[in-house]
Amino acid sequence: MVVTSTLEAGTNCHGYVTDCQGHVLFDRGVKDCSGTCLVSQRDNIPSDGPYCAHMIVHGNNGHVEETIKVDENACFRVDGKVSKWTFKKIRCTKKLPNPCGDPK
């Protein structure tokens, strides 16, 4: 599973993965998701059932969360501005951007 960001500068995001029943499988914490960067990459997500990729984008007025349930290894992108963003499944690419940094 790969999650990349193309969010506007100064945007923090938090991506994590659950078993869709609330049990966290992977969580890298909050990252500075400014520009094009790699939010998370995990090659060992269990394949014995569906999993849920979660994305939270943090803004001045709190945060908004989006969840995508999938049955296979997949790639995702979070894109846009704090006030209007998308989180969607995309075609996986071989070349990955540099990892997102820690929040400022």
Q: Quick check: is 100 in a domain? A: no
Return the pLDDT at 104.
78
At 61, is the pLDDT very low, low, confident or very high (cuts 50, 70, 90)? low
- CATH code for the domain of 74: 2.60.40.180
Q: Quick check: is 99 in a domain? A: no
Structural domain span for residue 35: 2-90
Return the pLDDT at 62.
67
- pLDDT of residue 31 exceeding 90: yes
Q: Tokens 């991506």, residue?
A: 15
Between strands 75-81 and 2-7, the pairing is parallel
Q: Quick check: is 104 in a domain? A: no
Residues 35-50: what's their mean pLDDT? 86
Closest CA to 67 of 82, 83, 54: 54
Higher pLDDT, 40 or 65: 40
- pLDDT of residue 46 exceeding 90: no
For residue 44, the cross-strand partners are none
Looking at the chain, the whole-number percentage of residues with pLDDT higher than 70 is 97
Q: Quick check: is 101 in a domain? A: no
- What total of structural domains would you count in the chain? 1
Report the mean per-residue pLDDT for the chain: 90
Residues 67-77: what's their mean pLDDT? 89
The type of residue at 55 is M
Q: Quick check: is 53 in a domain? A: yes
Q: Quick check: is 98 in a domain? A: no
